[in-house]
Structure 1
């Protein structure tokens, strides 16, 4: 690059001046005896800044993890410390960039003193400046002549020529200066400074002076807040306590990761500080050597003075690196102390949360065990002291309802945090269930109607629609029947179980028929054709007597059930279900309709007896012809 600039400058100079400059021999400059070495290279400076910036951005992670007042106090302290560390890192980088720039300048001077291109470039700059000065002096002289001469035409022409030549030289000089400045600005040191400034612009913490005051998180305040948090844990439910335990565990891992990264950054700063400390020792030793040389040889006083100036500048620049490194190490130590306080507080909260969760779980398990134990004792007492199947089933159902209601209530009170939110949640759940499970809820309500005063129980014979069966199970939602088929007197199970929803009692098209509890009575009919010419009134009396004779073995039970019906239905009249015979005239003759009560359990036997007695009465008359 220097050769190209020298060639460009040579082309812009007059041919004679350029040739004269090229013919001169190069002169070598003296090399500075003090080695100007930077602590880090440009790549190392950028790497250190990147690591520090990456560490600084962990404040965002800390802010996400800070959920308690004590966490916010520690976060505030860490943010202040991190801002100072970040500013110190940029101070170190800029000081090292100055050393790199000084080292580059020294190398450039040495190169100019040693290479023919650099020496030629220096001579070209001097010749260009000298030519510009001579032109300016000549222009001033011509101007004075113009002012004093009477004939100014020729002098004015000469003055304009000289001014044009001066403008050309100035243009060449500006071109040469711009090229040199561009090369200087794009060297490694200047590019490094620009990179540092670009990184600093993206970090607001790097702006502003750095103070040595350290910020410590108040441990007492953190302890008091932690105890307050531990007290509030007793108000949480199991769900919130579990979430708190998981959150505190994640927070502890986050703090551990940040502390490890801080330790790594602190190790990097400690390692960097060793080299400038060694350089300070070397500069101090060099100063002692120069003092000894000055005492031995007084002719070297000017040389020693120049060396002292260089050493003083280097000592100041190196100190500007060592001092921020020492401050950063102290700040990072304080930063880690804050993290340790935070980690201790988090671990205490973690242990308290685990303790509260364990107590809640123990209470929950104990209450459930107590409820289930009481339910089991209740069940055994019901089976032992309640013999009636109907009452036993109702008591067991009540036990089931109370048991699961208590389980749900205990679970809700244990898992929930606030009763207000629990009530709101329960209201929403209830509304949703009422819409989604409308049929089920109607069946549950129908169950209580089925077990009412005139309700059914296991073992009852009922008719639902066109299905007749015996109740084998009465649940909270469904009713199960064993289907029966055949005539009333001889119905037998078909082996099929029919299930009906309890909501059948609310349906207009449905119907449920059953006997009154304790009543097992029905009325049967027989139709017979009376013989032609027979005395109908006398036969009616004989038929009544015959049917009464067939029912005499069941008279007491029929009478008892009749009285129970009258008492239940509040019907006044005869208390005995007597056989009845009605005469009906038709075109073929006179028919007698015989109606008589039967017990359903003995319906077949009673029908047979009554049929035999009626047949005997009809057969005793001449020309008897029974009709079905």
Structure 2
């Protein structure tokens, strides 16, 4: 008996002032064969776990990147739809059992409570009729009584007692009506059915497809076959990404398979109670059949009702057991598909890993060959090229070739689409050529500057109006230490930077001394005294200059020979001073031209000027006018 009828009976008994033990009998328990297989909480848990497993199809869809994966995904989706359909069939069948059991219990409780309330109401009616009779008699006695005051008091008391009995009867009637209007029997089962319908509506495939359609789709689904993927054209970068992607796919498949195994275990555990229930119902039916031979008509009628109940329970229980068995078969097929998918993915993983290892080994072998050839190149340069300048050029060329090969090998092994890479590299190169035009021209100018007659650190050069000594020669620009003072011999302390592209400028001009040569020619213009013997003066001037140059003759001759060797000249290597006479508005002038060492230019100019002055003074009473050395 439920709590509410007991409460009504207790209130009624308290109203009547009798004991509950005297008015009520214990309610017999429900028969053992009418109990449900699963509780409401277990049904909800089953649906939640099945729906949670069904949502793993989204994970499979994200992991499906090949046509064979899509075939397996399609087959698994159809199987999952059918499993969900079966899960809802199981839940609805168990909800019917719960509803039937609660209805039977509620009916028993209602009948027991109604009988008790009926007895209480009959007792109240009997008391009410008795009091009413006494009240009518008291009213009749009131008209003829001598003591009207006592008779009136008795009528008033009886009327109050009758009103109390009427109030009690009305209270029991209202409570009985409330019991019928708010019967709890079947409330939990109805809530469960509504919850099942809400879960089914939340799944699009379950709300749009019928079980028959799901079965036909699963039967017509193509058999999934593992696909193959060729990694021979992949680069190292794509192979590495493929290895990580396939590894993640295997982990995803393993996780889905574990979820499927857990759900399969749940269905297996649920399948055992219905089997026991069917065995118990079968045994109960056999027992009833054995009793039907020697029974009277009343007993046969009772057995007929029991047979009906057993048949209905057997039908409902079997409607749960059949979907459970079919769900187990479908989950086995589902796991078989996952195993095929996992095996195919594992094969692809090892193929990608093998291809990646081969590519890495090939890349390392090519780099070893390149750097080995570079080492042989360097040794050959140091062994066969003795000129330091040419050796530096060969070593620079070696570095350029090595890194070009390294970049080409890395691009060919890391990239997958060489055609796309070449197009991309061409566009990048064109953009860089436009954006870095000046830099590229300077880089090209560097190779011209280090040519056969190029410059190097320590050379004295003149660029435009700047004369200086090269202190750094870079790939893009060079730096000069500016020279100034008399003869441009003293450093000014200023460093001048020029882009290497200055060699291509027509107005720039770059002048340098030949390597190992530090020789220049200076000119001095003298006004000769009038009336003197100019031929004698010319010979004396030449002799005076030679006297000064004798102290520097060896270096001057050596440097002159270097110049002649570079110019392929057949002249002797002994430069001689020259004196040239010419007319001027003031008379006759002598232009003296002589070679000097730039490192001693100021000293040589001073000594030559002093000797020339002595020669002119000897032939003139007045000092001659000296022109500035050129």
Return the TM-score normalized by structure 2. 0.75
Could you say if the C-alpha distance between residues 329 and 245 of structure 1 is closer, same or farther in structure 2, counting changes exceeding 3 Å? same
Residue 253 (structure 2) aligned to one of 246, 252, 255: 255
Q: Which of 109, 112, 115 matches 1:114?
A: 112
CA offsets per residue over residues 292-325 of structure 1, 9 Å max, x none? 3323534421111110110111011111111111
Q: Deviations 1:2-40 (Å, cap 9, x if unpaired)?
A: 999xx9xxxxxxxxxxxxxxxxx9999998645422222
Q: How many corresponding residue pairs?
A: 541
Give the distance between the partners of 1:85 and 1:505, measured in 2 at CA. 83
Aligned position for 1:393? 392
User: Structure 1 residue 208 and structure 2 residue 207: aligned?
Assistant: no
Once the 2 structures are TM-superposed, how far is the Cα of residue 48 of structure 1 from its aligned partner? Answer: 1.5
The 10-residue stretch of structure 1 (342-351 or 448-457) with the greater mean CA deviation from structure 2 = 448-457
Alignment map for 1:96-245 (pairs within 5 Å): 96-116=94-114, 187-206=187-206, 207-209=210-212, 211=215, 221-222=225-226, 225-226=227-228, 229=229, 232-245=230-243
TM-superposed CA distance for 1:64, in Å, is 0.9
Post-superposition offset of 1:96: 0.8
Task: Quote the offset at 1:83 in angstroms.
Answer: 1.4
Q: Classify the secondary structure of the residue corresponding to 1:470.
A: strand
- SS of residue paired to 1:115: helix
Q: CA deviation at 1:530?
A: 5.3
State how far apart, in whole Å, the 2-side matches of 1:445 and 1:118 are.
116
Q: CA deviation at 1:349?
A: 1.4
In the alignment, which residue of structure 2 is the partner of 1:469?
A: 468
Structure 2: distance between partners of 1:369 and 1:94 = 72
Q: Residues 456 and 514 of structure 1 are in contact (CA less than 8 Å); yes or no, is this contact kept in structure 2?
A: yes
Residues 119-160 of structure 1: per-residue CA shift (max 9 Å, x gap)? 77xx9xxxxxxxxxxxxxxxxxxxxxxxxxxxxxxxxxxxxx
Structure 1 pair 381–600 and aligned structure 2 pair: CA distance change class (3 A): farther
8 A Cα contact 1:505 1:512, kept in partner = yes
1:111-510 → structure 2 map (5 Å cutoff): 111-116=109-114, 187-206=187-206, 207-209=210-212, 211=215, 221-222=225-226, 225-226=227-228, 229=229, 232-299=230-297, 300-452=299-451, 454-481=453-480, 484=483, 486-488=485-487, 491=489, 499-506=497-504, 510=508
Tell me the SS of whatever aligns to 1:244. helix
In structure 2, the partner of 1:56 is 54
Inter-partner Cα distance in structure 2 for 1:350 and 1:497? 63
| Aligned position for 2:170 | none
- 1:58, distance to aligned residue in structure 2 (A): 0.7
Offset at residue 428 of structure 1 (A): 2.9
Contact 2:522 2:593 in 1 (8 A): yes
Structure 2 match to 1:68: 66
State the distance in 2 between where 1:118 and 1:462 align: 131
How far did 1:531 drift?
6.0
Alpha-carbon deviation of 1:185? 11
Cα pair distance change 1:321/1:584, threshold 3 Å:
farther
In structure 1, C-alpha distance between the alignment counterparts of 2:559 and 2:366, rounded to whole Å: 55
- Structure 1 counterpart SS, 2:455: coil
CA RMSD for the aligned pairs? 4.1
- Pairwise CA distance, 1:73: 2.5
Q: Is the 8 A contact 2:468 2:481 kept in 1?
A: yes
CA distance in 2: counterparts of 1:58 and 1:264, whole angstroms: 13
- CA deviation after TM superposition for structure 1 residue 199, in Å: 1.8
Alpha-carbon shift at residue 408 of structure 1 (Å)? 0.6
Q: Distance in 2 between matches of 1:393 and 1:472?
A: 17
Quote the offset at 1:463 in angstroms: 2.2
Over 3 Å counting, the alpha-carbon distance change for 1:448 and 1:198 in structure 2 is same
Provide the secondary structure at the position in 2 that maps to 1:295.
Answer: coil
Query: Structure 1 residues 558, 269: closer, same or farther in 2, change over 3 A?
Result: closer
The answer to whether the 8 Å contact 1:2/1:117 transfers is no
Rounded Cα–Cα distance in structure 2 between residues aligned with 1:520 and 1:117: 140
C-alpha deviation, 1:275, in angstroms: 2.1
Cα offset, 1:71, TM superposition: 1.8
Cα distance in 2 between the residues matched to 1:364 and 1:461:
48
Tell me how far apart the structure 2 counterparts of residues 459 and 387 of structure 1 sit (CA, whole Å).
20
Does the aligned pair in 1 maintain the 2:75–2:223 contact within 8 Å? Answer: no
8 Å contact kept, 1:112–1:118: no
Tell me how far 1:457 sits from its aligned partner: 3.7
The alpha carbon displacement at 1:55 in A equals: 0.8
| Preserved CA contact (<8 Å) 2:103 2:186 | no
User: 2 CA distance for matches of 1:75 and 1:460?
Assistant: 77
Residue aligning to 2:134: none
Alpha-carbon separation, structure 2, partners of 1:558 and 1:245: 70
Gaps of 5+ in 2: 9-22, 122-175
The aligned residue for residue 169 of structure 1 is: none
Aligned-partner SS, 1:456: coil
In 2: Cα distance, 1:118 partner to 1:109 partner: 14
Unaligned runs of 5+ in 1: 8-24, 124-175
Deviates more, 1:106-115 or 1:404-413: 106-115
CA 65–566 in structure 1, closer or farther in 2 if over 3 Å, else same: closer
Q: Deviations over 1:514-547 (max 9, x none)?
A: 1356765422133556568755664344323432
